[in-house]
Structure 1
Amino acid sequence: MGFQQLSLAQHYHERTKYAPETLAQQAAPLDWSRQPSPYKTYPLGSVFSLKSFLEPGKGAAHPYWQRLSRLLYCTYGITGVVPYPDQPFYMRAAPSAGGLYPAEIYVLTRNDTAIPAGIYNYQVKDHALVQVWQSYCWSALEAACLWHPALERTHIALVVTAVFYRSAWRYGDRAYRRICLDIGHLLGNVELAANIHDFRAHLIGGFVDAQMNELLYLDPEQEGVLAVVALANLLEVGENLSTFPAVLPSATCYDYGAIASGELLRACHGASALTSSDMIYGMQTASPSAKEPPAPPASKYKFPFGLRVSLSKTIIHWETHLAALQQTLLQRRSTRQYSGQAIEMDQLAALLTFAYHPQDYRDQGLDECPSFFDPTLVETFIAVTRVRELEEGCYYYAVAEHELRQIRFKNFQEQLHFLCLNQDLGRDAAVVIFHTANLERAIARYGDRAYRYLHMDAGHLGQRLNLAATALGLGVSGIGGFFDDQVNDLLGIPPEEAVLYITTVGKAA
C-alpha cells in the first residue's frame, strides 16, 4: 500500500494529540500577565441596552427587540457570578473550556426591521448591542455567504467569531479544537432558544472567510468567523422557509511544508478557509487523488456474540411555550464532582433521545430537523460504568435504531480516569460519551473545512446532552482534553475514528 500524505487538517490533528509521554512538555506554564479578557469593547458606537426586555411584562411595545434580547441571553448571556477576590468570574449560558469564552456574537440587520440596519456586537457583560457600523450591509453578507437562500428572505443574522488567543493562551495549538467545540455549544443554544422565541435558526458554514472578516472589520490574525446563522421570523409567513444545506467544501491542502509549534492553530484555520476561487458551481477544487472512503455498513457492530440493547423513546416534557427549556438553558452548569452513584436506563435513553432524535419533540414546538453542519459524519460510543440494568462496557450507539451495541466487555472506571488526563470526572461518571469521526472520509467530502464542521457539530450534540442531563437532575460536564490514541486502544474504538469530544454524565456529588 502506497504512502498517503495527510491533509493539513489531519496533520494538525496528529500534531495536537495528547499522549502520556509528551503531555508534560505540551503543558507550558501560563503567563498570567498576558491573560486575555473574555470581552471585546468598543469606545465608539451607539449602545442599545437589552436588559429591560428581560423583565416580566416589559417590552410588549417592542416585541422584536424583546424576542432578540431573550434569544441572545439564552444563547450566551451571563447566568451566574463567582465572586473571586481580585475580580468576579461571569458564567454564561454556553459552557466554555477553561471558562475562556473565545466566541463573539455579531448581529446584522436589514433596512426593513424594527432594529436599525447595521452591524452590532453583542456586549455580553452589559447585555447590550453596540452598533459598530451604521449602514446597510445585507447585500455584502449575502455575497460573502455565496447567496445562501436563507438570507434572501430573512432580515436578521448572527455571525459567530472566535478570538483565537483567548483559548490559545491556555491550550496552545490544541485550542482550535476547543474553540470549535465551544462555538458548537453556542450554536446548540441558538437553535433551541430560537424555537422558544419564534425564530428558526438556519446555519451557514459555507462563506468566503476573507469577505466575512472584512465585513466585520476583523484582524484575521486575531479573530475569524466560524459560523453564520440566518434567523427566520416564524411570525412572518414569508420567513417560514424550507431547510437548506449548511455546508460547502473547501480545498484540501497537502503542500504545507514544516509548521512550527505555536503556528498550527492559524495554519489549520487558514487551510480550512473558503475562497471564491474554490467554488465552481458549488463543487470542490481539490486534489483529484482525494477519494472518499466507502461508507460504513448499516449493520455496524452487529456482533453475533455482543449485547444489543434497544432503548425506549423517553421524552423530556419542556412545559407550555417551552418554559422549562428556557429555564434549563439559564440554569445549566458544568459539574465539578460526581458522587459515583448509578443512573437509570431511562435517563440514558432520554439523554440520547433529546440529542439525536429531535423529531420526537415536534409536538412540543421544537424543530424536528435542527440545523447542523453534517451530523451523519459524527459517531457515538458510550463507556458505561454505572447504569442500572445495563452491563458495564463500551457500546456503539446506533442512532437510527436507537440501540446500544456492546463492543467491549469491561468496567473501564480506572482507565477512564487515565484517558481523561486523570480527571475524577471520567472515573466517577455513570457514563462517558465519546463523539468521533473518520477524518479521512470527512475531509474527502468537505476538504480541510470539515475539521471545523465536525467539532462544531460535536459541540452542538454535547450541548443537547448538557441540557437534557440538567433537566433530568443529573450532573454533566464536557471534556476536551484526553489521550487521543489511548481512547481508541482501550475502548476498542476503530483507529480511523478520531475522538472529537467527551461528555461525562452522572449523579452530582
Structure 2
Amino acid sequence: MIDSFSQHYHQRTKYDPETISSKSQGLDWSQQPSSYKEYKIGTSYDLKPYLQATKQDVESQWWQRLSHFLLCSYGLTARIQTMGDPMYLRAAPSAGGLYPAEIYLVARGNSLLPAGLYNYQAKDHTLIHFWASDVWQNIQVACFNHPALAIAELSLITTAVFYRSAWRYQDRAYRRIFLDTGHLLGNIELAGAINGFRPYFVGGFIDRQIDELLYLNTEEEGVVTVIPIVDLDMHPDLSIPAFPSALPSRINLEYPELPDGQLLKYCHQMTEISQFRQLPANVNAIDPVELGDKYNFPFCLKISTATSPISWQDDVPLAGLEDTILKRRSTRAYTGGALMLEELNAILDFTYHPQHYIEQGLDPNPDYFDLGLIETFIAVSGVNGLEEGCYYYAPKAQELRQIRFKNFRQELHYLCLGQELGRDAGAVIFHTADLNMAVQKYGDRAYRYLHLDAGHLGQRLNLAAIRLDVGVSGIAGFFDDRVNEVLGIPADEAVLYITTLGRPA
C-alpha cells in the first residue's frame, strides 16, 4: 500500500534510537527566531487598561471582555530572567517556549472596532489595525460560508510561523506547531466561556485565499484555523446550523523524494484545501469503533472513572478557571510520589466530559475537529487505588480497561528520550490515532486535525491538573514505534502526544 504524503511525513519524522543522533543538530543561537511579529504601520488599540477597569457602561464592558479573552487565550503571564533578554511565558504552553502561533483578528466593523485586519501583539497586549478595508465577505467565501460567519462580528485566525519551531525541532516541528495551536484552541474555548463569547473552530477553508487576505509570506507562515467569535451577550439563545469543523483535502499519493529539511513546508502544502470537498459518502463505514466499545474484553480489569466535576467557581463564576489559565506552568520535575485515583478521575472528567460542566457556565459541546479519531491510553506507574500497567480509556463508558500488567517506569524514561518526567510520573497519557483511517476520511489534512485535537485535549488535561495541584507536562518528543511495542498499543495507532502527570518536585 502506498502511503499518502502525511503518512510519509509521519514515518520520516519518527524518532528512533538508532537514527536520532544523526538527525540532531546543534542549535545556532545567533539564529534564534523572535516569537513576536511586529507591524511598523497601523493603529494601536491598547487593551491593558481594560484588565483592571471597573466601568459598567456597555462599551467599557465589551472592551473588558475582549481584553480578558485575548489575555487568557495567548497573553503573557510570566517573565523569566535569562543571561540575555528575558523570556516571557504565555497562557498557552509551547514546546521549547518558541510560540509559533500568531493570532489575527478580523472585524466585520461596528462602532467599537472598525472593519479590517488586526494582529494581536501579545508582548504589549495591544491590537494593531494594519488593514482598514472590509474583508469579511472574503473570509466567508474562503470558509465555504460557514454559518457562524453569518452571525459573528469578529473572527480570530491563527497562523503558524514555521521557522520559530523548525529552528529547534527541524522537520518534526510541524507536529509540534499543531499541538501548540491545539493548546491555544483549548484556551480560546474556555476563555470564550469565561467572557461571554462562543468560538466556532473552522478547519476547512481555502488556505491560499486566507493567506493572501492576511498578506502572509507563505514561505514563512501559513493559516491554521479560522475561528468566528459569536458574542453571547448579543445572541444568548443562538443556534448555529450544523456544519462540519473539518473538511477533507486531497490524498496525495505521488510526491517527490525530499531531503531532510524540506518535509515541513511541503507537508503544509500537501494538506491545503483548494476547493470544497464533501466528506466521503461511506463516512460511517470508516468511522472508528463507537467510543466506549474498544478493548471491551470480558476478562480485563475495568475501573470506573465516574466522579464529581472539578469546581471552577471561586468568588465569582469561573474565576477559578481564569486564575488557573493564567498561573498554569509546565512541571519540570516530579518526586515519583503516587497520585490518587480520585485525582486522575477528576482530570479525565474535565478533559473528556464537558457536558458535566454546563451548570458552571462552560460549553457542554465545544468544537473539536473529530474526536472520534483519537484514542487514549494511560500507563500507570503510581496511582493509589489502581494497579500498575497500561490502560485503555473509554470515555463513553467512563472506565479504564487494563490491557497490560507491568510497571513501566524505566521503559517510559527511555521512550521519552531519557526525560525524567516520564520515569517519575504517576501516570502518562498517550493520545493516538489510526492515521490510515483518518486519511481516508479527511485526506492529508487529517494530520492537522489530529494534532490540533490532541493539543486541545492536552490543554484541558493541563488545566485540570493545575487546579488540583497535580504536576503536568506535555511531551512531543518520543521514540514513536517503541511506544507501541512497549505498551502493547496496536502498530497502526500513530502516537500523537504524551502528557505526564505526577507529584511536582
Alpha-carbon contact 1:344-1:387 (below 8 Å) kept: yes
Moved more, 122-131 or 24-33: 24-33
Matched, 1:452 2:448: yes
Match of 2:251 in 1: 252
Task: Provide structure 1 residue ranges, at least 5 long, that are not aligned to the other structure.
Answer: none
Residues 314, 346 of structure 1: 8 Å contact kept: no
The 2-side partners of 1:67 and 1:490 are apart by 47
Alignment partner, residue 299 of structure 2: 305
Is 1:162 paired with 2:160?
yes
Secondary structure of the residue aligned to 1:165 is helix
What residue in structure 2 maps to residue 398 of structure 1?
A: 394
Partner of 1:275 in structure 2? 274
Counterpart CA distance in 2 for 1:496 and 1:442 is: 11
Give the CA RMSD over aligned residues: 1.7
Aligned residue identity for 1:97: A
2:126, 2:37 → 1: CA distance? Answer: 12
- Establish whether residue 50 from structure 1 lines up as the match of residue 47 from structure 2: yes
Among 472, 475, 500, the alignment partner of 2:471 is 475
- The residue that corresponds to 2:15 in the other structure is 18
Instruction: Give the secondary-structure state (helix, strand or coil) at the position aligned to 1:251.
Output: coil
Letter in 2 for 1:10: Q
Letter of the 1:190 partner, please give it: I
**TM-fit CA distance, 1:52:** 0.4
State whether structure 2 residue 198 is matched by structure 1 residue 205: no
Tell me the distance in 1 between the aligned counterparts of 2:318 and 2:417: 38
Calculate the TM-score normalised by the size of structure 2.
0.96
Measure the CA separation in 2 of the matches of 1:363 and 1:125: 35
Maintained 8 Å contact 1:153/1:238 = no
Query: Is the alpha carbon distance of 1:392 and 1:191 closer, same or farther for their aligned partners in structure 2, counting shifts above 3 Å?
Result: same
1:7 is aligned to: 4
Report deviation, 1:483.
0.3
AA aligned opposite 2:353: H
Task: State the one-letter code of the partner of 1:313.
Answer: T
Equivalent in the alignment of 2:411:
415
Match of 1:295 in 2: 288
Unaligned runs of 5+ in 2: none
**Are residue 426 (structure 1) and residue 422 (structure 2) matched?**
yes
Which residue in the other structure is 1:184 paired with?
182
Q: Report if aligned partners of 1:455, 1:500 keep a CA contact under 8 Å in 2.
A: yes
The one-letter code sitting in structure 2 at the alignment partner of 1:486 is R
- In 2, the alpha carbon distance for the partners of 1:258 and 1:312 equals 49
1:233–1:239 Cα contact (<8 Å) kept: no
Matched, 1:130 2:128: yes
- Distance (whole Å) between structure 1 residues aligned to residue 131 and residue 221 of structure 2: 18
**Amino acid of the structure 1 residue aligned with 2:453:** D
Letter of the structure 2 residue corresponding to residue 434 of structure 1: F
Quick one: distance in 2 between partners of 1:442 and 1:343?
34
Residue type matched to 1:299 in 2?
D
Cα distance in structure 1, aligned partners of 2:103 and 2:472: 25
Partner of 1:219 in structure 2?
217
- Which SS does the other structure have where 1:107 is aligned? strand
Native 8 Å contact 1:233 1:240 kept in 2: no
Letter paired with 2:166:
A
How far apart are the structure 2 equivalents of 1:173 and 1:27? 11
Displacement of 1:85 after TM fit? 2.8
- 1:312 positional shift: 2.2
- Residue 239 of structure 2 aligns to a residue in which SS? coil
- Name the counterpart of 2:377: 381
Alpha-carbon contact 2:288-2:372 (below 8 Å) kept: no
After superposition, the Cα gap between the structure-2 partners of 1:28 and 1:215, relative to the gap in structure 1 and judged at 3 Å, is same
Q: Secondary structure at the match of 2:77?
A: strand
Contact residue 250 and residue 284 of structure 1 kept, 8 A: no
Q: Secondary structure at the match of 2:383?
A: coil
Q: How far does residue 182 in structure 1 lie from its aligned partner after superposition?
A: 0.1
1:59 offset after TM fit, Å? 7.5
The one-letter code sitting in structure 1 at the alignment partner of 2:35 is P
Q: Distance in 2 between matches of 1:158 and 1:24?
A: 40
Query: Take 1:26 and 1:400, find their aligned partners in 2: how far apart are those partners?
Result: 41
**1:27 aligned to 2:47?**
no
- TM-score, structure 1 as length reference: 0.96
- The alignment status of 1:37 with 2:34, answered yes or no, reads yes
Residues 209-232 of structure 1 show CA distances to partners (whole Å, capped at 9, x for unaligned) of 000100100011100000011111
Asked whether the equivalents of residues 108 and 158 of structure 1 are also in contact (C-alpha less than 8 Å), the reply is: yes
Question: What residue identity is the alignment partner of 1:492?
Answer: G
C-alpha separation in 2, matches of 1:105 and 1:58: 27
Matched residue of 1:376: which SS? helix
Aligned partners of 2:393, 2:502: CA distance in 1, in Å? 18
Indicate the residue corresponding to 1:64 in structure 2.
Answer: 62
Alignment of 1:107-122 (within 5 A): 107-112=105-110, 114-122=112-120
Q: Which amino acid aligns with 2:349?
A: T
> How far off its partner does 1:86 sit?
1.1
What amino acid is the match of 2:219?
Answer: E
Identity %: 54
Counterpart of 1:473, as a letter, is: D
| Counterparts of 1:105 and 1:505, CA distance in 2 | 29
| Whole-angstrom CA distance in 2 between matches of 1:423 and 1:258 | 33
Q: Please give the alpha-carbon distance, in whole angstroms, between the structure 1 residues aligned to 2:342 and 2:335.
A: 19
For residue 500 of structure 1, what is the aligned residue in structure 2?
A: 496
Tell whether the 8 Å contact from 1:338 to 1:506 is kept in structure 2 after alignment.
yes
Q: Distance in 2 between matches of 1:69 and 1:503?
A: 30
Residue 231 in structure 1 maps to residue 225 in structure 2: no
Once the two structures are TM-superposed, the CA of residue 107 in structure 1 deviates from its matched residue by 0.5
Q: Deviation of residue 306 (structure 1)?
A: 1.7
Instruction: Assess, with a 3 A threshold, how the Cα gap between structure 1 residues 291 and 13 changes in structure 2: closer, same or farther.
Output: farther
Letter in 2 for 1:339: T
CA distance in 1, matches of 2:110, 2:239: 18
CA contact (8 A) 1:107 1:120 kept: yes
* Deviation of the 1:346 alpha carbon: 0.8
